[in-house]
Amino acid sequence: MIRAFVTGGTGFIGANVVRSLLASGYHVRCLVRPTSRLDNLRGLDVELVQGDLRDRDLAAKMQGCQVLFHVAALYSLWQADREALYQNNAIATQNVLAAAREAKIERTVYTSSVAAIGVGEAGTPVDETYQSPLTKLVGDYKKSKFLAEQEAKKAISLAQDVVIVNPSTPIGAWDIKPTPTGDIILRFLRQQMPAYVNTGLNLIHVQDVAQGHLLALEKGKTGSRYILGNQNLTLKEFLELLAQVTVKPAPTQTLPVWLPLSVAWIDEKLLAPLGKTPSVPLDGVKMAQQKMYYKADKAVRELGLPQTNLTIAVQDAVNWFLERGYVDQF
């Protein structure tokens, strides 16, 4: 039985990766913090070890495992989390990969993000060969993921067997926090979304993302990166898909971007320093000004990445939120 060490197993993508590994017969060891919420792993036959991504003895915790899935990352669009983003993404990845070398891990799948790639001009879909300069990446989350991916490339240059995967926007079950896209689904279900910003994104079923991780382990080329994505949709099209699945009306009014931009700027720059919890992240609004479209042809061709119909993904996400009481009435 192959032993897989997984970081980030309590999160959205990680919880789905863990389930895919178990279904494929792997023994799974998950690194969890003492304060981690373990709901996404409850009832699963996994080995839990407590620790932190930056622990000096991380290699000892990996001993006996053959493969590593480094899925963990801090996701935040709040500017106040700037330092934490670099610590938990870039610096932590450097430590995790160094620990993997010390522990003689045979192969690592590193979970980057399309955020590290950047966006094409005027909403043009881009592939793995594209790279925005660091200075053009919007926000510290994207920049921290770019720098974390550079750490993976440094490890590869040291002859470490690492495959990089770049998920786009996953939707589906186990979105426990939830993610910003999960939050859109919840606000839609609660009928709290009267208008929308004219943006676009690439969506994929989270189970396909999880399967893409296993396929990258089995078939991925060392040093390559693979976009794990599926379909490019405008936010309007995504909301119409939600309306189709839920039989609820989609909002028809667009929101001029200056409005959320103004609210976000006031929240983060003026009110947050006074102790008020901001409601709209400034970096999130800035990102929404760009259509985030990608091409996953390479992963489909070389890995056999599944391309589940997004209607199924949306239905699975809606069902999961409803079954766990995220929405009072439906």
The catalytic site residues sit at 141
Whose tokens are 């290699």? That residue is 59
Closest CA to 310 of 251, 233, 234, 225: 233
The answer to whether residues 199 and 291 touch, using CB atoms and an 8 Å cutoff, is yes
First vs last C-alpha separation in the chain: 44
The structure tokens 């994505």 sit at 229
170 bridge partner residues? 204
CB count within 10 Å of CB 158 equals 10
CA 205 vs CA 20, 40, 174, 294, 310: distances in Å = 13, 17, 12, 15, 7
Question: What's the one-letter identity of residue 141?
Answer: Y
Question: Which residues, at least 6 apart from 312, have a Cβ–Cβ distance to it below 8 Å?
Answer: 205
